[in-house]
Amino acid sequence: MPIRLTGIASGMDTDAMVKELVSAYSMKKTSIEKKKTKMEWTKEAWKDMNSKVYGFYTGALSGMRMATTFTSQKKVTVSDPSKVSVTAGTGATNGTQTIQVKQLARAAYLTGEKVGGGTNTKYDKSTKLSDLGVGNAGNITVTMADGTTKVATIDGSQSIDEFCKDFSQATGLKAKFDAVNQRFVINAESGLENDFTISGDFLDKVGLQEEVKDEDGNHVSGAVKQAASNAKILVNGAEYESESNTFNVNGMTINASGVTAEGNEIVVSVAADVDGIYNKIKDFFKDYNELINFMTKGYNAESAKDYEPLTDEEKDEMSDTEVEKWEKKIKDSLFRRDQQLSSIMSVMTTSMSKGYQINGKTYHLSSFGIETMGFLNAADGEQNAYHIAGNADDSAYASKTDKLKKMIEEDPETVQEFFKNLASDLYSTLTKKMGSSSLSSALTIYNDKEMDNQLKNIETSIKDWEKKITTYEDKWYDKFAQMEKAMTELNAQQTQLSSLLGMGGN
């Protein structure tokens, strides 16, 4: 910006005069800047609204469409939980079943005898195998139950810890050294298919040689082997076998932990989890109400007709608290009577009020004791919120008859079908509302593209007015400069004339 020295000859405040002369243009530019600020606030408000709608759309609403939301809510009762634990999946049939645990799965364990030949020397993981009598490199062969073999090396230069790690990596078994009892222990995963035997070099040095028993079958020396076994259970009289103690039968996951006595049966009862299903529906309405209340309050907000965004000069004349209250007043009113918001609210409330036919009978939310309080009775901004009769967390409806829970207990299939239909319809409706167009992006409920273009146009308009103001200022400064020049010349002529007249007087 050029430095101007004005009013020297005339004595006038030309800066103030120019500012006043271009004030109409400046006011127009300020008005457009305020419009830009308000539109930026509106864009942010819509982004927040869109985030809330999208969160509900992909969260509670999407989940309510799925049958698993209801069928996964199962309550299981086991007569002897010390022997088995049972969880019911979506495919589990409601009813009573019996279970007998005939045998538990076991892993094959090979427990070596104490190393060191009975000496009192204590060995640890850092001990070299050469200290145990292991010489140059040899091989230990592991033969699995299916006949496959794996080979691990054993070498006197290895430490006990290195040997255990190398052996485990080479064979897939787990080898460790029990430093407290001075024994090597090797084990596999549970199940017959994971059983194993070992053979090879230096086994006697590490206490893993074949077991020796006396005539009566008592242990004399060598490693003790626990053979692997599979678990066996009877479910409703049918036998099932597994390498682990976990079974998946009839949609149930059964974990066996103890063998039942001969002839004893464990009774398992599977039923719909009334409270679980009820809470799913309750949580859905909690999320829906939070969203629809937010929309309703925004749409019914108080007018801020006489409020406009503040300029920096206006802010300087107010306290920070006053500025904050002023701007909040405007931001709270951004959705007031907004037609786009009204359209979204309308399709949502329409879907929620629909009836859906199940087995020849039409059901509405009111059929399950779920309703709004109406515009006359509801609190401000909550006219579209739903309340569940008998909901202990809703003081206004806690004392009413709990139709929903009763329906879940007596006819869970109808409850499931109704809410699946309702959620699917609302989901489809919002999907259409959030479809992409020339005005909006995909998964967006407002015209974000149009808003971005409007902001660009406003920014262009502001730049145009800045140029106009600069041009207009330059025009007036040039005129005042010419005036100053003329006055300077006139003053010079007057001075010269006065001088001449003065000389003539002498």
Total Cβ atoms within 10 A of residue 500 = 10
Looking up tokens 């001990």, which residue turns up? 127
What is the rounded CA–CA span in Å between residue 150 and residue 143? Answer: 7
Read off the pLDDT of residues 407-462 as tens digits, 9 standing for 90 and up. Answer: 999 999 999 999 999 999 999 999 999 999 999 999 999 999 999 999 999 998 88
Q: Residue 83: pLDDT above 50?
A: yes
Q: What percent of the chain has pLDDT over 90?
A: 77
Q: What are the φ/ψ torsions at residue 248 (nearest 5 degrees)?
A: -115, 105
The alpha-helical segments, DSSP class H, found in 72-193 are 160-171
What is the rounded CA–CA span in Å between residue 101 and residue 259? Answer: 5
Predicted pLDDT of residue 237: 94
- Quick one: pLDDT band at residue 67, thresholds 50, 70, 90? confident
Q: What angle do CA 289, 293, 296 make, to 5 degrees?
A: 140
Predicted pLDDT of residue 475: 74
Q: What are the φ/ψ torsions at residue 359 (nearest 5 degrees)?
A: 55, 45
3-state secondary structure of 309: coil
- What is the residue-averaged pLDDT of the chain? 91
Contacts of 177 (CB under 8 A, 6+ apart): 123, 124, 125, 160, 161, 164, 183, 184, 185
Q: Which residues pair with 178 in a beta bridge?
A: 183
Looking up tokens 């029990």, which residue turns up? 178
- Quick one: pLDDT band at residue 120, thresholds 50, 70, 90? confident
- Quick one: pLDDT band at residue 1, thresholds 50, 70, 90? very low
Looking up tokens 């006043």, which residue turns up? 20
Work out the average pLDDT over 471-477: 70
Read off the pLDDT of residues 284-342 as tens digits, 9 standing for 90 and up. Answer: 999 999 999 999 999 999 999 999 999 998 999 999 999 999 999 999 999 999 999 99
- Are the CB atoms for 188 and 198 separated by under 8 Å? no
Read off the pLDDT of residues 196-253 as tens digits, 9 standing for 90 and up. Answer: 999 999 999 999 999 999 898 899 899 999 999 999 999 999 999 999 999 999 999 9
- Are the CB atoms for 151 and 139 separated by under 8 Å? yes
Predicted pLDDT of residue 93: 87
Give Dmax over CA atoms of the chain in angstroms.
162
3-state secondary structure of 422: helix
Q: Residue 503: pLDDT above 70?
A: no
Work out the average pLDDT over 82-97: 91
Q: What is the DSSP letter of 79?
A: S
